[in-house]
Structure 1
Amino acid sequence: MIWLGIQGYVARQQGRQDKKGNMLVHIHADKSSEIKSEHHRHSTNGITFHTEETGDVIGWLTRSAAASGGNCVIASGHTVYNVLAAARPDLIRVLARSDWPFAFPRFQCRPIIYAQDSNIVINFGRTPLLGNATHPRPKHLPTLSPQQVEALDAIEAIARATEMKIQTQAGDIHFINNLAILHRRDAFVNGDDPTTKRHLVRMRLRNETLGWAIPHELKQEWKDAFDEEGDRNWHLEPMPEGFFPLRMYTN
Protein backbone atom coordinates (compact mmCIF):
# COMPACT_ATOMS: atom_id res chain seq x y z
CA MET A 1 0.00 0.00 0.00
CA ILE A 2 2.93 2.33 0.68
CA TRP A 3 4.29 1.54 -2.79
CA LEU A 4 0.95 2.44 -4.37
CA GLY A 5 1.00 5.75 -2.54
CA ILE A 6 4.56 6.58 -3.62
CA GLN A 7 3.91 5.79 -7.26
CA GLY A 8 1.03 8.27 -7.27
CA TYR A 9 3.67 11.00 -7.12
CA VAL A 10 5.53 9.50 -10.09
CA ALA A 11 2.54 8.93 -12.37
CA ARG A 12 -1.11 9.35 -11.48
CA GLN A 13 -2.60 7.09 -14.16
CA GLN A 14 -2.46 3.31 -13.64
CA GLY A 15 -2.96 0.92 -16.55
CA ARG A 16 -4.68 -2.41 -16.98
CA GLN A 17 -2.08 -5.03 -17.87
CA ASP A 18 -4.30 -7.52 -19.67
CA LYS A 19 -7.85 -8.13 -20.83
CA LYS A 20 -8.74 -9.49 -17.39
CA GLY A 21 -8.27 -6.00 -15.98
CA ASN A 22 -5.40 -6.94 -13.68
CA MET A 23 -3.81 -3.77 -12.32
CA LEU A 24 -1.17 -5.53 -10.20
CA VAL A 25 0.79 -8.33 -11.85
CA HIS A 26 2.66 -10.71 -9.53
CA ILE A 27 5.90 -12.05 -10.98
CA HIS A 28 6.88 -15.24 -9.16
CA ALA A 29 7.66 -18.88 -9.89
CA ASP A 30 4.52 -20.98 -10.28
CA LYS A 31 4.74 -24.65 -11.24
CA SER A 32 1.07 -25.45 -10.64
CA SER A 33 0.54 -26.05 -14.38
CA GLU A 34 2.76 -26.51 -17.43
CA ILE A 35 1.62 -23.31 -19.11
CA LYS A 36 2.24 -21.28 -15.94
CA SER A 37 5.67 -22.79 -15.28
CA GLU A 38 6.78 -21.93 -18.84
CA HIS A 39 5.24 -18.46 -18.93
CA HIS A 40 8.02 -15.88 -18.50
CA ARG A 41 6.08 -14.25 -15.66
CA HIS A 42 6.08 -17.46 -13.64
CA SER A 43 9.18 -19.34 -14.80
CA THR A 44 12.61 -19.32 -13.19
CA ASN A 45 14.37 -18.88 -16.55
CA GLY A 46 16.16 -15.77 -17.66
CA ILE A 47 14.41 -13.59 -20.23
CA THR A 48 15.77 -11.40 -23.01
CA PHE A 49 15.65 -7.62 -23.21
CA HIS A 50 12.26 -6.12 -24.02
CA THR A 51 9.84 -3.36 -23.10
CA GLU A 52 6.35 -3.78 -21.70
CA GLU A 53 3.57 -3.48 -24.26
CA THR A 54 2.13 -0.37 -22.62
CA GLY A 55 3.06 2.20 -20.02
CA ASP A 56 5.25 5.27 -19.97
CA VAL A 57 6.67 4.14 -16.63
CA ILE A 58 7.01 0.61 -15.24
CA GLY A 59 7.07 0.24 -11.49
CA TRP A 60 8.27 -2.82 -9.58
CA LEU A 61 8.04 -3.65 -5.91
CA THR A 62 10.30 -6.47 -4.66
CA ARG A 63 8.41 -8.36 -1.96
CA SER A 64 11.11 -11.02 -1.67
CA ALA A 65 14.27 -12.02 -3.55
CA ALA A 66 15.46 -15.42 -4.77
CA ALA A 67 18.07 -17.46 -2.94
CA SER A 68 20.36 -16.87 -5.95
CA GLY A 69 20.11 -15.06 -9.27
CA GLY A 70 17.03 -13.19 -10.45
CA ASN A 71 18.74 -9.82 -10.91
CA CYS A 72 16.74 -7.09 -12.63
CA VAL A 73 18.81 -5.90 -15.58
CA ILE A 74 18.29 -2.66 -17.52
CA ALA A 75 19.89 -1.06 -20.59
CA SER A 76 19.46 2.24 -22.38
CA GLY A 77 17.49 2.09 -25.60
CA HIS A 78 19.17 5.33 -26.64
CA THR A 79 22.59 3.70 -26.26
CA VAL A 80 21.43 0.81 -28.43
CA TYR A 81 20.21 3.32 -31.02
CA ASN A 82 23.44 5.35 -30.96
CA VAL A 83 25.65 2.27 -31.37
CA LEU A 84 23.55 1.03 -34.29
CA ALA A 85 23.45 4.48 -35.87
CA ALA A 86 27.26 4.62 -35.79
CA ALA A 87 28.02 1.02 -36.77
CA ARG A 88 24.93 -0.39 -38.53
CA PRO A 89 22.62 2.39 -39.78
CA ASP A 90 21.07 -0.17 -42.12
CA LEU A 91 19.61 -1.95 -39.09
CA ILE A 92 18.16 1.32 -37.78
CA ARG A 93 16.25 1.55 -41.06
CA VAL A 94 15.08 -2.06 -40.65
CA LEU A 95 13.85 -1.40 -37.09
CA ALA A 96 12.00 1.73 -38.22
CA ARG A 97 10.09 -0.03 -40.99
CA SER A 98 6.38 -0.77 -40.53
CA ASP A 99 6.61 -4.46 -41.46
CA TRP A 100 7.33 -6.07 -38.08
CA PRO A 101 4.52 -8.65 -37.63
CA PHE A 102 3.62 -8.48 -33.93
CA ALA A 103 1.28 -11.33 -32.96
CA PHE A 104 -0.12 -9.89 -29.73
CA PRO A 105 -1.71 -8.18 -27.85
CA ARG A 106 -3.24 -8.01 -31.36
CA PHE A 107 -1.83 -8.83 -34.76
CA GLN A 108 -0.28 -5.65 -36.10
CA CYS A 109 2.55 -4.72 -38.46
CA ARG A 110 4.43 -1.75 -37.06
CA PRO A 111 7.95 -0.45 -36.33
CA ILE A 112 10.10 -1.25 -33.29
CA ILE A 113 11.85 2.15 -33.21
CA TYR A 114 10.05 5.47 -33.58
CA ALA A 115 11.25 9.06 -33.93
CA GLN A 116 8.46 10.73 -31.96
CA ASP A 117 8.80 14.48 -31.63
CA SER A 118 12.33 14.87 -30.21
CA ASN A 119 12.38 11.40 -28.61
CA ILE A 120 13.50 7.98 -29.76
CA VAL A 121 10.89 5.46 -28.60
CA ILE A 122 11.48 1.69 -28.56
CA ASN A 123 8.68 -0.82 -28.05
CA PHE A 124 9.09 -4.55 -28.69
CA GLY A 125 9.36 -8.06 -27.30
CA ARG A 126 10.81 -11.15 -28.94
CA THR A 127 7.89 -13.45 -28.06
CA PRO A 128 5.24 -11.50 -30.03
CA LEU A 129 7.60 -11.64 -33.03
CA LEU A 130 9.19 -15.09 -32.78
CA GLY A 131 6.97 -17.06 -30.42
CA ASN A 132 8.29 -19.40 -27.72
CA ALA A 133 7.61 -22.82 -26.21
CA THR A 134 4.49 -21.58 -24.38
CA HIS A 135 3.23 -19.49 -27.28
CA PRO A 136 4.42 -21.15 -30.51
CA ARG A 137 3.88 -18.83 -33.44
CA PRO A 138 1.05 -20.05 -35.69
CA LYS A 139 2.21 -21.03 -39.15
CA HIS A 140 -0.31 -18.75 -40.87
CA LEU A 141 1.34 -15.63 -39.41
CA PRO A 142 4.22 -13.93 -41.27
CA THR A 143 7.72 -14.82 -40.12
CA LEU A 144 10.66 -12.49 -39.67
CA SER A 145 13.19 -12.00 -42.43
CA PRO A 146 16.87 -12.87 -41.77
CA GLN A 147 17.62 -9.15 -41.64
CA GLN A 148 14.92 -8.60 -39.00
CA VAL A 149 16.31 -11.46 -36.89
CA GLU A 150 19.76 -9.90 -37.23
CA ALA A 151 18.37 -6.56 -36.02
CA LEU A 152 16.76 -8.19 -32.95
CA ASP A 153 20.00 -10.01 -32.15
CA ALA A 154 21.93 -6.75 -32.50
CA ILE A 155 19.63 -5.04 -29.95
CA GLU A 156 20.20 -7.90 -27.52
CA ALA A 157 23.98 -7.94 -28.01
CA ILE A 158 24.41 -4.17 -27.54
CA ALA A 159 22.06 -4.08 -24.55
CA ARG A 160 23.95 -6.94 -22.89
CA ALA A 161 27.29 -5.21 -23.50
CA THR A 162 26.05 -2.01 -21.84
CA GLU A 163 23.61 -3.35 -19.25
CA MET A 164 23.34 -2.51 -15.56
CA LYS A 165 22.38 -5.24 -13.10
CA ILE A 166 20.31 -4.45 -10.04
CA GLN A 167 20.58 -6.95 -7.20
CA THR A 168 17.21 -6.52 -5.55
CA GLN A 169 16.18 -7.15 -1.98
CA ALA A 170 12.84 -7.15 -0.20
CA GLY A 171 11.32 -3.68 -0.06
CA ASP A 172 13.11 -2.29 -3.14
CA ILE A 173 11.06 -0.05 -5.42
CA HIS A 174 12.10 0.67 -9.00
CA PHE A 175 10.64 2.90 -11.70
CA ILE A 176 11.92 2.95 -15.30
CA ASN A 177 11.02 4.85 -18.46
CA ASN A 178 9.39 2.09 -20.51
CA LEU A 179 9.70 4.11 -23.72
CA ALA A 180 13.50 4.34 -23.58
CA ILE A 181 14.80 1.68 -21.14
CA LEU A 182 14.97 -2.03 -21.97
CA HIS A 183 14.83 -4.63 -19.22
CA ARG A 184 15.39 -8.33 -18.72
CA ARG A 185 15.83 -10.84 -15.90
CA ASP A 186 18.55 -13.30 -14.92
CA ALA A 187 17.58 -16.91 -14.23
CA PHE A 188 17.12 -17.67 -10.55
CA VAL A 189 16.83 -20.41 -7.94
CA ASN A 190 14.37 -20.09 -5.08
CA GLY A 191 15.03 -21.33 -1.57
CA ASP A 192 12.69 -23.29 0.67
CA ASP A 193 11.86 -20.37 2.93
CA PRO A 194 9.19 -17.92 1.68
CA THR A 195 11.66 -15.06 2.20
CA THR A 196 14.00 -16.63 -0.38
CA LYS A 197 11.39 -17.00 -3.15
CA ARG A 198 11.49 -14.26 -5.80
CA HIS A 199 8.28 -12.22 -5.83
CA LEU A 200 7.89 -8.91 -7.66
CA VAL A 201 4.74 -6.87 -8.23
CA ARG A 202 4.54 -4.81 -11.42
CA MET A 203 2.43 -1.86 -12.50
CA ARG A 204 2.18 0.10 -15.73
CA LEU A 205 1.87 3.85 -15.27
CA ARG A 206 1.37 7.07 -17.23
CA ASN A 207 2.08 10.66 -16.27
CA GLU A 208 -0.48 12.67 -18.23
CA THR A 209 1.50 15.89 -17.68
CA LEU A 210 5.11 14.82 -18.21
CA GLY A 211 4.57 11.76 -20.40
CA TRP A 212 6.00 11.65 -23.91
CA ALA A 213 3.76 11.70 -26.97
CA ILE A 214 2.83 8.13 -27.91
CA PRO A 215 3.44 6.98 -31.51
CA HIS A 216 0.26 6.53 -33.52
CA GLU A 217 0.79 2.77 -33.94
CA LEU A 218 0.83 2.29 -30.15
CA LYS A 219 -2.10 4.51 -29.21
CA GLN A 220 -4.71 1.73 -29.24
CA GLU A 221 -2.75 -0.29 -26.66
CA TRP A 222 -2.38 2.81 -24.46
CA LYS A 223 -6.11 3.53 -24.84
CA ASP A 224 -7.03 -0.04 -23.86
CA ALA A 225 -4.78 0.17 -20.79
CA PHE A 226 -5.46 3.66 -19.50
CA ASP A 227 -9.04 4.53 -20.48
CA GLU A 228 -11.32 4.94 -17.49
CA GLU A 229 -13.84 2.45 -18.87
CA GLY A 230 -13.17 -1.24 -18.27
CA ASP A 231 -12.64 -3.68 -15.42
CA ARG A 232 -9.94 -3.00 -12.84
CA ASN A 233 -8.91 -5.80 -10.50
CA TRP A 234 -6.48 -5.14 -7.66
CA HIS A 235 -5.12 -8.45 -6.38
CA LEU A 236 -2.80 -7.62 -3.50
CA GLU A 237 -1.75 -11.28 -3.51
CA PRO A 238 -1.08 -13.42 -6.63
CA MET A 239 -4.07 -13.62 -8.92
CA PRO A 240 -6.53 -16.43 -8.15
CA GLU A 241 -7.41 -19.09 -10.72
CA GLY A 242 -9.36 -17.54 -13.56
CA PHE A 243 -7.42 -14.29 -13.52
CA PHE A 244 -4.24 -15.66 -15.04
CA PRO A 245 -4.03 -13.92 -18.44
CA LEU A 246 -3.48 -16.32 -21.34
CA ARG A 247 -2.18 -15.02 -24.64
CA MET A 248 -4.40 -15.87 -27.57
CA TYR A 249 -3.60 -15.62 -31.25
CA THR A 250 -6.65 -14.27 -33.06
CA ASN A 251 -5.70 -14.01 -36.73
Structure 2
Amino acid sequence: MTRSASRWNTLGELVATGVVLVAATTSGALLFALAATERWQFQDLLLRVGLPAVVLLVLALVLAAGVGWHRLRRGILVGGLSGLIATIGLEAVRITGFRALETMPGDLPMLMGVKATGRIMAGPNTTSTILGYADHFWNGAAFGVIFALLIGGFPRKWGAWSGALLGAVYGLLLGFGFATGPVPTSLGIGGVFATVTVAEFQTTVYLAHLVFGLILGALVHRFGSRIAPLWVPVVDLFRGVPRQGGSGNFSNKPLTE
Protein backbone atom coordinates (compact mmCIF):
# COMPACT_ATOMS: atom_id res chain seq x y z
CA MET A 1 0.00 0.00 0.00
CA THR A 2 1.36 3.43 -0.95
CA ARG A 3 1.85 6.19 1.59
CA SER A 4 -1.16 8.12 0.23
CA ALA A 5 -3.47 5.09 0.20
CA SER A 6 -2.40 4.10 3.70
CA ARG A 7 -3.05 7.61 4.94
CA TRP A 8 -6.59 7.55 3.56
CA ASN A 9 -7.08 4.12 5.10
CA THR A 10 -5.99 5.44 8.49
CA LEU A 11 -8.32 8.42 8.14
CA GLY A 12 -11.22 6.12 7.32
CA GLU A 13 -10.50 3.96 10.35
CA LEU A 14 -10.33 7.01 12.61
CA VAL A 15 -13.68 8.28 11.34
CA ALA A 16 -15.22 4.84 11.90
CA THR A 17 -13.66 4.77 15.38
CA GLY A 18 -15.35 8.06 16.19
CA VAL A 19 -18.68 6.65 15.04
CA VAL A 20 -18.19 3.56 17.22
CA LEU A 21 -17.30 5.68 20.26
CA VAL A 22 -20.49 7.70 19.81
CA ALA A 23 -22.54 4.53 19.27
CA ALA A 24 -21.08 2.85 22.37
CA THR A 25 -21.78 5.95 24.44
CA THR A 26 -25.35 6.49 23.26
CA SER A 27 -26.32 2.82 23.50
CA GLY A 28 -25.02 2.40 27.05
CA ALA A 29 -25.69 3.73 30.53
CA LEU A 30 -26.25 7.27 29.25
CA LEU A 31 -29.79 6.32 28.24
CA PHE A 32 -30.75 5.22 31.75
CA ALA A 33 -29.28 8.42 33.16
CA LEU A 34 -31.33 10.48 30.70
CA ALA A 35 -34.45 8.54 31.64
CA ALA A 36 -33.77 9.31 35.31
CA THR A 37 -34.31 13.00 34.56
CA GLU A 38 -37.94 12.06 33.73
CA ARG A 39 -37.79 14.03 30.49
CA TRP A 40 -37.75 10.86 28.41
CA GLN A 41 -39.05 7.32 28.82
CA PHE A 42 -36.34 4.67 29.07
CA GLN A 43 -38.31 2.39 26.76
CA ASP A 44 -38.47 5.05 24.05
CA LEU A 45 -34.77 5.86 24.38
CA LEU A 46 -33.82 2.21 23.98
CA LEU A 47 -35.91 1.78 20.84
CA ARG A 48 -35.16 5.10 19.16
CA VAL A 49 -31.54 5.65 20.21
CA GLY A 50 -30.07 2.55 21.83
CA LEU A 51 -31.09 -0.08 19.29
CA PRO A 52 -29.98 1.92 16.22
CA ALA A 53 -26.66 2.62 17.96
CA VAL A 54 -26.14 -1.11 18.60
CA VAL A 55 -26.86 -1.87 14.94
CA LEU A 56 -24.40 0.83 13.90
CA LEU A 57 -21.72 -0.62 16.15
CA VAL A 58 -22.23 -4.12 14.72
CA LEU A 59 -22.07 -2.77 11.17
CA ALA A 60 -18.83 -0.97 12.03
CA LEU A 61 -17.37 -4.24 13.30
CA VAL A 62 -18.32 -6.01 10.06
CA LEU A 63 -16.86 -3.16 8.01
CA ALA A 64 -13.65 -3.14 10.05
CA ALA A 65 -13.19 -6.87 9.51
CA GLY A 66 -13.92 -6.52 5.80
CA VAL A 67 -11.53 -3.68 4.98
CA GLY A 68 -8.76 -4.64 7.39
CA TRP A 69 -9.12 -2.00 10.08
CA HIS A 70 -7.41 -4.21 12.63
CA ARG A 71 -7.22 -1.69 15.45
CA LEU A 72 -10.94 -0.98 15.32
CA ARG A 73 -11.87 -4.66 15.03
CA ARG A 74 -9.65 -5.66 17.94
CA GLY A 75 -10.84 -2.76 20.04
CA ILE A 76 -14.50 -3.68 19.65
CA LEU A 77 -13.98 -7.40 20.25
CA VAL A 78 -11.43 -7.25 23.06
CA GLY A 79 -13.05 -4.27 24.74
CA GLY A 80 -16.56 -5.67 24.50
CA LEU A 81 -15.66 -9.10 25.88
CA SER A 82 -13.47 -7.61 28.60
CA GLY A 83 -16.29 -5.27 29.60
CA LEU A 84 -18.71 -8.19 29.88
CA ILE A 85 -16.33 -10.10 32.15
CA ALA A 86 -15.54 -7.00 34.23
CA THR A 87 -19.26 -6.47 34.80
CA ILE A 88 -19.32 -9.78 36.68
CA GLY A 89 -16.86 -8.27 39.15
CA LEU A 90 -18.99 -5.14 39.44
CA GLU A 91 -22.05 -7.30 40.06
CA ALA A 92 -20.29 -9.21 42.83
CA VAL A 93 -19.78 -5.96 44.72
CA ARG A 94 -23.24 -4.58 43.92
CA ILE A 95 -25.09 -7.74 44.91
CA THR A 96 -23.09 -8.00 48.13
CA GLY A 97 -24.00 -4.42 48.92
CA PHE A 98 -27.65 -5.00 48.07
CA ARG A 99 -28.24 -8.44 49.58
CA ALA A 100 -25.80 -8.66 52.48
CA LEU A 101 -24.79 -5.16 53.56
CA GLU A 102 -27.96 -3.28 52.52
CA THR A 103 -25.96 -0.40 51.10
CA MET A 104 -27.91 -0.29 47.83
CA PRO A 105 -31.56 0.80 47.67
CA GLY A 106 -32.69 -1.90 45.25
CA ASP A 107 -31.88 -4.17 42.33
CA LEU A 108 -30.89 -1.64 39.68
CA PRO A 109 -30.78 -4.04 36.68
CA MET A 110 -34.26 -5.26 37.61
CA LEU A 111 -35.45 -1.65 37.71
CA MET A 112 -33.89 -1.08 34.29
CA GLY A 113 -35.85 -4.03 32.95
CA VAL A 114 -39.10 -2.77 34.46
CA LYS A 115 -38.60 0.63 32.85
CA ALA A 116 -37.51 -0.90 29.55
CA THR A 117 -40.70 -2.97 29.31
CA GLY A 118 -43.04 -0.31 30.68
CA ARG A 119 -43.99 -2.38 33.74
CA ILE A 120 -43.61 0.32 36.38
CA MET A 121 -47.10 -0.30 37.75
CA ALA A 122 -47.21 -4.07 37.14
CA GLY A 123 -43.76 -4.84 38.52
CA PRO A 124 -41.00 -7.12 37.21
CA ASN A 125 -41.45 -10.44 35.48
CA THR A 126 -39.01 -12.90 33.94
CA THR A 127 -38.82 -11.07 30.62
CA SER A 128 -38.21 -7.66 32.17
CA THR A 129 -35.55 -9.03 34.52
CA ILE A 130 -33.68 -10.76 31.69
CA LEU A 131 -33.87 -7.61 29.58
CA GLY A 132 -32.69 -5.46 32.47
CA TYR A 133 -29.65 -7.60 33.16
CA ALA A 134 -28.91 -7.87 29.43
CA ASP A 135 -28.90 -4.07 29.20
CA HIS A 136 -26.74 -3.86 32.32
CA PHE A 137 -24.11 -6.19 30.86
CA TRP A 138 -24.32 -4.41 27.52
CA ASN A 139 -23.44 -1.20 29.34
CA GLY A 140 -20.33 -2.92 30.66
CA ALA A 141 -19.41 -4.12 27.17
CA ALA A 142 -19.93 -0.62 25.75
CA PHE A 143 -17.68 0.92 28.40
CA GLY A 144 -15.13 -1.77 27.56
CA VAL A 145 -15.19 -0.86 23.87
CA ILE A 146 -14.68 2.81 24.73
CA PHE A 147 -11.72 2.02 26.99
CA ALA A 148 -10.07 -0.30 24.47
CA LEU A 149 -10.40 2.17 21.60
CA LEU A 150 -9.11 5.10 23.66
CA ILE A 151 -6.34 3.44 25.69
CA GLY A 152 -5.71 0.09 23.99
CA GLY A 153 -2.67 -1.79 25.25
CA PHE A 154 -0.90 1.32 26.51
CA PRO A 155 1.70 1.26 28.00
CA ARG A 156 2.81 -1.82 26.07
CA LYS A 157 6.25 -2.23 27.68
CA TRP A 158 4.87 -2.50 31.21
CA GLY A 159 3.01 -5.39 32.78
CA ALA A 160 -0.70 -6.01 33.11
CA TRP A 161 -0.66 -4.08 36.39
CA SER A 162 -0.26 -0.86 34.40
CA GLY A 163 -3.38 -1.65 32.42
CA ALA A 164 -5.21 -2.46 35.65
CA LEU A 165 -4.10 0.88 37.10
CA LEU A 166 -5.38 2.82 34.10
CA GLY A 167 -8.55 0.77 34.21
CA ALA A 168 -8.99 1.60 37.89
CA VAL A 169 -8.83 5.32 37.11
CA TYR A 170 -11.32 4.80 34.28
CA GLY A 171 -13.64 2.83 36.57
CA LEU A 172 -13.54 5.49 39.28
CA LEU A 173 -14.40 8.14 36.69
CA LEU A 174 -17.40 6.04 35.65
CA GLY A 175 -18.36 5.69 39.30
CA PHE A 176 -18.11 9.44 39.77
CA GLY A 177 -20.34 10.02 36.76
CA PHE A 178 -22.93 7.61 38.13
CA ALA A 179 -22.79 8.84 41.73
CA THR A 180 -23.11 12.51 40.77
CA GLY A 181 -25.62 12.01 37.95
CA PRO A 182 -29.42 11.99 38.06
CA VAL A 183 -29.85 8.28 38.88
CA PRO A 184 -29.15 8.48 42.66
CA THR A 185 -31.71 11.26 43.04
CA SER A 186 -34.29 9.23 41.13
CA LEU A 187 -33.63 6.33 43.54
CA GLY A 188 -34.28 8.58 46.52
CA ILE A 189 -30.69 8.60 47.77
CA GLY A 190 -30.28 11.38 50.31
CA GLY A 191 -34.02 11.88 50.66
CA VAL A 192 -36.10 11.80 53.83
CA PHE A 193 -37.33 8.26 53.18
CA ALA A 194 -34.03 6.86 51.89
CA THR A 195 -33.24 3.34 53.09
CA VAL A 196 -29.46 3.81 52.71
CA THR A 197 -27.22 6.76 53.42
CA VAL A 198 -25.37 8.72 50.76
CA ALA A 199 -22.04 7.49 52.16
CA GLU A 200 -23.12 3.83 52.03
CA PHE A 201 -24.41 4.17 48.50
CA GLN A 202 -21.38 6.02 47.16
CA THR A 203 -18.93 3.64 48.84
CA THR A 204 -20.60 0.69 47.12
CA VAL A 205 -20.79 2.50 43.78
CA TYR A 206 -17.13 3.53 43.77
CA LEU A 207 -15.92 0.13 44.97
CA ALA A 208 -17.98 -1.68 42.33
CA HIS A 209 -16.68 0.54 39.54
CA LEU A 210 -13.13 0.28 40.86
CA VAL A 211 -13.33 -3.52 40.60
CA PHE A 212 -14.85 -3.16 37.13
CA GLY A 213 -12.01 -0.93 36.01
CA LEU A 214 -9.27 -3.12 37.47
CA ILE A 215 -10.56 -6.21 35.68
CA LEU A 216 -11.25 -4.34 32.45
CA GLY A 217 -7.83 -2.72 32.33
CA ALA A 218 -6.00 -5.96 33.08
CA LEU A 219 -7.92 -7.91 30.43
CA VAL A 220 -7.57 -5.27 27.71
CA HIS A 221 -3.85 -4.96 28.39
CA ARG A 222 -3.41 -8.74 28.44
CA PHE A 223 -5.39 -9.59 25.31
CA GLY A 224 -5.22 -6.25 23.49
CA SER A 225 -1.59 -5.30 24.01
CA ARG A 226 -1.19 -4.81 20.25
CA ILE A 227 -4.01 -2.25 20.13
CA ALA A 228 -2.39 1.17 19.89
CA PRO A 229 -3.99 3.97 21.92
CA LEU A 230 -6.08 6.39 19.90
CA TRP A 231 -3.45 9.11 19.83
CA VAL A 232 -0.97 6.90 17.91
CA PRO A 233 -2.89 6.75 14.60
CA VAL A 234 -3.93 10.40 15.05
CA VAL A 235 -0.30 11.50 15.40
CA ASP A 236 0.76 9.25 12.51
CA LEU A 237 -1.92 10.75 10.31
CA PHE A 238 -0.86 14.34 10.96
CA ARG A 239 2.82 13.45 10.63
CA GLY A 240 2.09 11.76 7.33
CA VAL A 241 3.74 8.48 8.33
CA PRO A 242 0.95 5.87 8.41
CA ARG A 243 2.08 2.39 9.39
CA GLN A 244 2.37 -0.74 7.34
CA GLY A 245 -0.71 -2.92 7.71
CA GLY A 246 -2.75 -0.16 9.34
CA SER A 247 -2.65 1.60 12.69
CA GLY A 248 -3.76 -1.29 14.87
CA ASN A 249 -0.40 -2.74 15.82
CA PHE A 250 2.25 -1.20 18.07
CA SER A 251 4.91 -3.10 16.16
CA ASN A 252 3.98 -1.78 12.71
CA LYS A 253 6.79 0.19 11.11
CA PRO A 254 6.16 3.56 9.43
CA LEU A 255 6.01 3.48 5.65
CA THR A 256 9.15 4.81 4.03
CA GLU A 257 8.16 4.55 0.41
What is the TM-score with the length of structure 1 in the denominator? 0.26
Relative contact order higher in (CA < 8 Å, ≥ 6 apart):
1
Q: Give the structure with the higher percent strand.
A: 1
Q: Name which one, 1 or 2, has greater alpha-carbon Rg.
A: 2
What is the TM-score with the length of structure 2 in the denominator? 0.26
